[in-house]
């Protein structure tokens, strides 16, 4: 009788339908937001910017990462944060809440392994800002099973290269005070782009020229052929213009550093908040909420192509109908293409820094 009951239970479990991203409305993007009452949430957006779902967050969110097969997202606190929520986007159920080990902080980003069995989280040791990559077992309910060095100080965004288990990490290079986030090492900072195996072995390290060592590498985008774009935030004197976009391919000797058109060389105010490839990968864009501008470059050469001004713009992703989709602090979701901004949708929220593309 026990054996028959066990087999019946097993058959029922096997026959139960498996939810997919279609059950969550096939969202194109994830984005954190704050509403007019000061409440925070993570939203799932359709390609035209309409809301498909939203889930409350306990505090300000930053970015998220999507499971590769099932409708599950991990929403991260704005750095330095101590929560990451695992959300079932089809049912709205909170599946797990992750907390970093004592003395650690999440740094706003994470990435799944290709099979979705592991989650990697960008973290720092609060005292000293040494970088760590946390490893979480998804099948066991997001149990932390290990960690390894990010190979730098102050890691921020982390991505997995397409079709591989190689991780690329933006090590910002900034040591901060764990209490008030005062920057402690601006004169000696050394940001880097590190390629790591899924076990933490260093595959390749990319550093900037000596005169650009105060250019903190922050955010990343990947093209389907493995080209990595990284955007930067300048920590030095703004009297001298600096490149805020770099392009690199694993195995290349040095990155390509893109410079804007002369008339726009200071328009970004030394700050790039997000980076994304357009659909097809021929163009790559960066945003600056401080400068109120989107700048677009040729993804193969780094040559400037065009730009658009928009106040408080930051979130950026590819647009299905061409160009880019962007979000801003006034609740706008818009297409930006060929020097033109076309509104898609507006919500009564302030979108946070990132528009996370669900490249499923």
Domain range summary for the chain, segments of one domain joined by +: 19-281
Burial class of 125 by CB neighbour count within 10 A (0 to 12, 13 to 18, 19+): middle
Per-residue DSSP letter, 210: G
Residue 6: per-residue pLDDT? 47
Residue 360: per-residue pLDDT? 54
Q: Please tell me the total number of residues recorded for the chain in this structure.
A: 360
Residue 118: per-residue pLDDT? 98
Contacts of 289 (CB under 8 A, 6+ apart): 271, 273, 312, 313, 314, 328, 329, 353
Residue 238: per-residue pLDDT? 76
CA–CA separation, 73 and 94 (whole Å): 10
Lowest average pLDDT, out of 130-144, 155-169, 260-274, goes to: 260-274
CA–CA separation, 348 and 345 (whole Å): 10
Other C-beta atoms closer than 10 Å to the C-beta of 220 total 22
pLDDT surpassing 80 at residue 233: yes
Predicted confidence band at 106 (pLDDT cuts at 50, 70, 90)?
Answer: very high
Top-confidence residue, 235 or 181: 235
SS3 5: helix
SS3 248: strand
The whole-chain average pLDDT of the chain stands at 93
Asked whether 229 and 221 are in contact (CB, 8 A), the reply is: yes
Q: Give the right CATH number for 19-281 from 2.40.110.10, 2.60.40.1220, 2.130.10.10, 3.40.1790.10.
A: 2.130.10.10
Residue 79: per-residue pLDDT? 73
Give pLDDT tens digits for 313-359: 999 999 999 999 999 999 999 999 999 999 999 999 999 999 999 97
Top-confidence residue, 16 or 102: 102
CA–CA separation, 296 and 276 (whole Å): 10
């Amino acid at each position: 009788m026990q054996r028959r009951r066990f087999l019946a239970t097993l058959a029922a479990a096997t026959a139960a339908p498996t939810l997919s991203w279609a059950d969550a409305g096939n969202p194109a993007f994830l984005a954190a937001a704050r509403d007019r009452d000061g409440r925070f949430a993570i939203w799932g957006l359709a390609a035209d910017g309409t809301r498909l779902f939203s889930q409350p967050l306990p505090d300000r969110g930053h970015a998220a990462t999507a499971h590769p097969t099932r409708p599950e997202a991990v929403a991260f606190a704005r750095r330095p944060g101590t929560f990451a929520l695992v959300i079932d986007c089809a049912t709205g159920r909170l599946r797990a809440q992750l907390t970093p080990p004592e003395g650690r902080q999440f740094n706003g980003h994470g990435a799944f392994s290709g099979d979705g069995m592991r989650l990697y989280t960008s973290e720092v040791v609060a005292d000293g800002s040494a970088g760590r990559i946390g490893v979480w077992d998804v099948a066991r309910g997001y149990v932390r099973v290990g960690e390894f060095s990010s190979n730098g100080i102050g890691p921020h965004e982390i991505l997995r290269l397409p079709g591989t288990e190689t991780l690329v990490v933006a090590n910002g290079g900034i040591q901060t005070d764990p209490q008030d986030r005062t920057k402690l090492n601006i004169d000696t900072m050394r940001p880097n782009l590190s390629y790591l195996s899924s076990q933490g072995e260093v595959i390749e390290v990319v550093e900037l020229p000596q005169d650009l060592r105060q250019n903190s590498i922050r955010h990343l985008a990947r093209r389907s052929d493995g080209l990595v774009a990284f955007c930067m935030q300048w920590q030095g004197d703004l009297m001298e213009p600096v490149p805020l976009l770099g392009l690199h391919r694993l195995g290349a000797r040095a990155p390509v550093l893109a410079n804007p058109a002369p008339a726009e060389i200071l328009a970004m105010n030394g700050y790039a908040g997000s980076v994304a490839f357009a659909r097809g990968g021929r163009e790559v864009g960066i945003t600056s909420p401080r400068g109120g501008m989107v700048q677009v470059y040729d993804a193969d050469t780094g040559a400037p192509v065009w730009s658009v001004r928009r106040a408080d713009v930051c979130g950026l992703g590819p647009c299905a109908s061409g160009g880019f989709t962007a979000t801003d602090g006034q609740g706008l979701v818009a297409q930006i293409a060929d020097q033109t901004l076309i509104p898609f949708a507006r919500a009564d929220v302030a979108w946070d820094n990132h528009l996370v593309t669900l490249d499923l």
